[in-house]
Structure 1
Amino acid sequence: MGRRAGFSDNAAMPDFPLAARGYHRHQVDAFIARIEGTLGRAQLFAPPVTAAEVGGVRFAIALRGYRGRAVDERLEEYVRELEAREDGERRRLSAAEADRLIGLVRNVRFVTTRLSEGYDEREVDAFLDRLIVEVRGRRPRSAGIRAARFATTRLRPGYAQSDVDGFLEHLASEIDRLA
């Protein structure tokens, strides 16, 4: 059905499993080639990418495309690599700024869905807990927040997707503003 996740013969390009409906393969391949070029592991034929750009990328859905979860996981790894490169340019948040962001995360409440599609509550809550730890270190990464992906639920309770997405975008914007 699909190919093995990992890397193909071309050492720089990941080899993603295929799905009946998945991310458009050519779009993913072109974007990853830019990332690999930005990281210096391949020749760069287009403008370099930033961690924020990787975190916000969206691909078209196509028949026999790449499995979305595998691509998303690899993109998260790229975000961490790019952020590590960009880290020297970012300043640490002050204790007051970090406390304010932690307060925002702790006090957020999302509308719960029952019969319509929503994000898995456990995954969102776990992500927010990890985010608090990152903010305590006073170097949160907005690209990592924008790159967050969650499983969806339909028959069991979930968080309204628009609420979660809106909050995470607000939080990422605040971090960008402070940095």
Structure 2
Amino acid sequence: MGTMPLTPADIRNKKFHTVRLRPGYNEEDVDALLDRIEATLVALEGGPRTGPLLTADEIRNSRFRTTRMSPGYREDEVDDFLDLVVADLAGRGLGQPAAPPPLPPRPGQDGPRPPHPGQGTGYADPRRPGPPPGTPADGPRMAPQDIREKRFATTRLTTGYNEQEVDEFLDRAEYTLEVLLQGRPDRATLSSAEVERVQFATTRARPGYDPAQVDHFLDELAEEFRRYEHP
């Protein structure tokens, strides 16, 4: 397509190869983002506007669930195409997103905490009149920082959970809790049911996270997500 601006048809007709025996991007997640990109381009061309316009930064910070042993889009192909979309939207003046609503303060927290890269500011704002819609009435019990700073004991002589898989899953969980606290459940990439069903590869004769500790924390995490799903 060279330097020609992207069109809605370019997005609608884009196809990616699928993989099965190595990690890939969840097809539904990618397709949902492409639908929003197409809608943005339609609006930019003077067509009907069906929602907020996507920005280059929002696409750059998008995250997809990964697949294992089931079909998924090739990650490099998706990433390369989204780089084109990012450049296109930035060239049209859609570089920076509007500031997201601030997170409510964490209990006992006097000031703002540093942002997590690529996931919004996450600053507490004492001027905010109340929590975002969808926040449990009794307030959050867990903060994204609790997930980010969670540590588990490691095992060597007994079975443990694959550390990389657990860490990647917790990255998604942290992002999900971040957007839930911002009152943006439409951007969540995990549900309580998915937290309850997740399974990790196990390790033997090499370091792995203590399964009992991980399972206990996942129970707490699922319960926290459930409070936003059924306030």
Whether these two folds match at TM > 0.5 is no
Which interval holds the TM-score relative to the shorter structure? 0.3 to 0.5
Point out the structure with max Rg over C-alpha. Answer: 2
- Bigger share in helix: 1
Higher relative contact order (CA 8 A, sep 6+): 1
**TM-score (structure 1 length as normaliser):** 0.44
Specify which structure has the higher proportion of strand: 1
